[in-house]
Amino acid sequence: MIDDRFYQSTYVGTKNFSQIDIQTANATGFGAAADDYAERGIDLNEQLIMNKPATFFFRMNGDAMQEAGIYPGDILIVDRSIKIAAGKIVVASVNGDLVVRYFKQTMNKLWLEPANNRLGNISLDEFTEYRPWGIVTCVVHILDPALIAFNTPRKYKK
Amino acid sequence: MIAILDCNSFYCSCERVFRPDLAEKPVVVLSNNDGCIIARSDEAKAIGVGMAGPYFKAKPLIEEHGVTVFSSNYNLYGNMSWRVMETLRVMMGKENVEVYSVDECFINLAHIPKEKIYEVAFSLKEMVEMWTGIKVSVGVAPTKVLSKVANRLAKKNKAVTNCVLVLDSPRKIEQALQKTLVEDIWGIGGQYADKLKKVGVLTAFDLSKKDINWCRKNLGGVVGDRLIRELKGEKSKMMESPLTEKKIIATTRMFGSPVTDINSIKEAVATYTSRAAEKLRRQYCAAKTISVFVVPKEQNYNTHFRHGSSIGSHTKLLRATSLTNELIKPAVSLVEKLFEVGRSYKKAGVMLSDIVFDNSIQGDLFLPNNKNGGRLLMDMMDNINFSMRNDVLKFAASGTARNWKMQKNFHSPRYTTRWDELREVH
């Protein structure tokens, strides 16, 4: 029984809701029609975080993954519980440094590939100290300057 | 069977999750106010850095070997602890996990068939490591005390055990007990250990051969009774449900440097009172007694790292309350009572007791009933303070300058709780 539970992910966060949490029109006049169709509403956590205890946030500081749509200052959502596979964007430690790259693999070779043609591949051989950290599942790119001022340290601004 | 899962040098491991460059390097974490060493990585232990020793004594050794030093970052450790426990709850089910401390928990494996125990214990370890990045050790045995014995041995011989040790046969239990000294048994303190050694009981094995009545007499009654039964493999400590409400809430801190003026102490005490009141409200309780204590600095230089005796006093309130403002007032007047001009102080603390649920507060005939309007205000304050920024809203009594604040010279970023302190990647 345990085996089929081991690889299940959960997000319990806001699923603990009851009828009371559902917003209704609270109209004094004619409101009941909409109340019959009331729903909980959209929750970003629920959609973007598959496994809460294994999910961490990182901040991109560099342009190595620019062509994959990850810009300096972006927030990365990283899930440690997903199995690494060729073609995924990963966070990995290379010689003690944390980098974001495509993970690539052929029959006898492993390497990390940037999404920026100014940079070269990092080949993962016996001379590199390499450890995968997690899989990047999502990138949050903030557009509105008001939000940037609240969320992002000034130094990332382009 | 019961398992205990214990994180390896937990605080150091938390720092290392976000610092892969420190993976096999010596790391230590200091206590509040950077006073003592409270966690060491295996590499730091190997160099000879002692546990719980004052930082300044180990400093030459630390500098010589380039040990990385961190101030304690409880925001990070608390969050990582939750992740470890949550991973276990997801895997084993909420009802089978008993959180014992920030880095240890008991797991009930009663429903796992015997031949699968090792496999399960090993996957628990692997899974926690994969999901959270924290390395752990697992000890499994028929009872809690024996699982602690197993865990200790698993940690001690990491290369052989791979951090997992299962004691599933009488022979294995016997061997493990023989390798454990009495002072290393869970629940045996220094005094009892000395007493046992005097009568020739040196190892856990020796103790397990003793008579139950003898232990009852010599090891503190029921406690000793339970302990010996557990050592003999008879379950007598059950899985416990979590403590939902605390009977006493205390907040105490060392000052960053000795404080001589009364206003700073008042500010500090007001701040600790707010913290304690928050904890009180978190468990939906109110307190009727508030005590304040201060610790003066010893004049003698030699006793620099020993605390002077603490001086304290308490006030009984007319009605139990959880409102910060109603608690700050008596706290501050207690400080006035305790403070002596000309002395310097190094520590202060606030303690709330006589705790009752806040829906069953006894009214007082002579006090106006405020219908919990204050509680609404407190909830709003807590909400604002709790969403990211500490103390955006506070009572003026807590002061603004905070010269007494703790020293945290080697603080790492709060990677998991603050947007502006996220770990950078490139």
- Per-residue pLDDT band at B113 (split at 50, 70, 90): very high
* Predicted pLDDT at B118: 94
Give the count of alpha carbons within 13 A of B335, CB side only: 25
Residue type, B195: K
What pLDDT, on a 0 to 100 scale, did the predictor assign at position B379?
78
Q: Give B122's pLDDT tier (boundaries 50, 70, 90).
A: very high
Task: State how far residue B204 is from chain A, nearest Cα, in angstroms.
Answer: 34
CB contacts of A5 in chain B (<8 Å) are: 91
Query: Cβ contact (<8 Å) for B86 and A151?
Result: no
Query: By C-alpha distance, which of B60, B62, B70 is closest to B39?
Result: B70
Output B191 or B401, whichever has higher pLDDT: B191
The partner residue sitting opposite A98, judged by closest CB among B20, B120, B131, is B20
Best mean pLDDT range from B86-100, B193-207, B230-244, B385-399: B86-100
Q: Per-10-residue mean pLDDT for chain A, 158 residues long?
A: 39 52 60 65 83 94 93 93 94 94 93 94 91 94 74 59
Residue B64 has pLDDT above 60, yes or no: yes
Q: What pTM value is reported for the model? A: 0.79
Residue B42 dihedral angles phi and psi, to the nearest 5°: -55, -40
Q: What is the predicted pLDDT for the residue at B344?
A: 84
Question: What is the rounded average pLDDT of the residues B195-199?
Answer: 86
Query: For B265-286, what is the mean pLDDT?
Result: 87
List A residues 58-117 in contact with B (Cβ-Cβ < 8 A). 58-62, 64, 75-76, 80-81, 91, 93, 96-100
- Alpha helices (runs of H) in A8-76, residue ranges in sequence order: 32-35, 44-48
Lowest-confidence range among A147-156, B182-191, B223-232, B339-348?
Answer: A147-156
Residue B285 above 80 pLDDT? yes
Residue B121 per-residue DSSP state:
H
- Please judge whether A60 and B426 are an interchain contact, meaning their C-beta atoms are less than 8 angstroms apart: yes
Yes or no, beta carbons of B426 and A53 under 8 Å apart: no
- The whole-number average pLDDT for the span B131-156 is 94
Comparing alpha-carbon positions, the chain B residue that sits nearest to A11 is: B90
Task: Give yes or no for B79 touching A (CB within 8 A).
Answer: no
For B48-206, strand residue ranges (E) read 68-71, 97-101, 104-108, 136-141, 164-166
Q: What percent of chain B clears pLDDT 90, i.e. is strictly above it?
A: 34
